[in-house]
Amino acid sequence: MRYLMGTFLRIEALHHGADAAERCLEEAFDEVRRIEGVLSRFREDSQIYMLNKSAHDSPQHIDIELFYLLEKCIEFSKRTGGAFDITIAPLTDLWRQAERKGILPEKDEIDYLLSQIGYQEIILDEDARTISFKNRHLKIDLGAAGKGYALDRAAAVLKKNGIEKAYLDFGGQISYIDESNSVEYVGIKNPLRPEEVMTSLPIKNQSISTSGSYERYFEVMERTYSHIIDPATGRPVDNCILSVNVIGESAMESDMFSTALFVLGLDAGSRLIEKSYGVKALFAVRENGKANFKKGGVEIRCVN
The residues binding ligand AMP (CB under 6 A) are: 84-86, 88, 92, 141, 143-144, 211, 227-229, 231, 255, 258-259, 263
To ligand AMP, the closest distance from the beta carbon of 27 in angstroms equals: 25
H or E segment at 40?
none
Instruction: Report the candidate in 296, 282, 289 with the shortest Cα–Cα distance to residue 193.
Output: 289
Question: What are the two backbone dihedrals, phi and then psi, of residue 247, each rounded to the nearest 5 degrees?
Answer: -110, 130
Using the rule CB under 5 A, give the single segment among 23-31, 139-147, 151-159, 200-208 that binds Mg ion: 139-147
Instruction: Report the candidate in 121, 127, 137, 147 with the shortest Cα–Cα distance to residue 64.
Output: 127
Nearer to ligand AMP, 59 or 82 (CB): 82
Q: Is residue 246 at the binding interface for Mg ion, with CB under 5 A as the rule?
A: no
Residue length of the chain: 304
Using the rule CB under 5 A, give the single segment among 130-138, 253-261, 272-280, 292-300 that binds Mg ion: 253-261
To ligand AMP, the closest distance from the beta carbon of 78 in angstroms equals: 13
To ligand AMP, the closest distance from the beta carbon of 203 in angstroms equals: 17
Instruction: Report the candidate in 163, 256, 151, 259 with the shortest Cα–Cα distance to residue 206.
Output: 151
* Rounded Cα–Cα distance for residues 192 and 272 (Å): 26
Nearer to ligand AMP, 93 or 178 (CB): 93
CB-neighbour burial class of residue 166 (10 A; exposed 0-12, middle 13-18, buried 19+):
buried
* Rounded Cα–Cα distance for residues 258 and 241 (Å): 11
40 binds, among Mg ion, ligand AMP, none (CB under 5 to 8 A by kind): none
To Mg ion, the closest distance from the beta carbon of 258 in angstroms equals: 5
Q: Is residue 184 at the binding interface for Mg ion, with CB under 5 A as the rule?
A: no
Nearer to ligand AMP, 144 or 208 (CB): 144
Using the rule CB under 5 A, give the single segment among 107-115, 176-184, 196-204, 248-256 that binds Mg ion: 248-256
- Options 155, 255, 262, 269; binder of Mg ion; rule CB under 5 A: 255
Instruction: Report the candidate in 29, 36, 38, 41 with the shortest Cα–Cα distance to residue 90.
Output: 41
* Rounded Cα–Cα distance for residues 56 and 132 (Å): 6
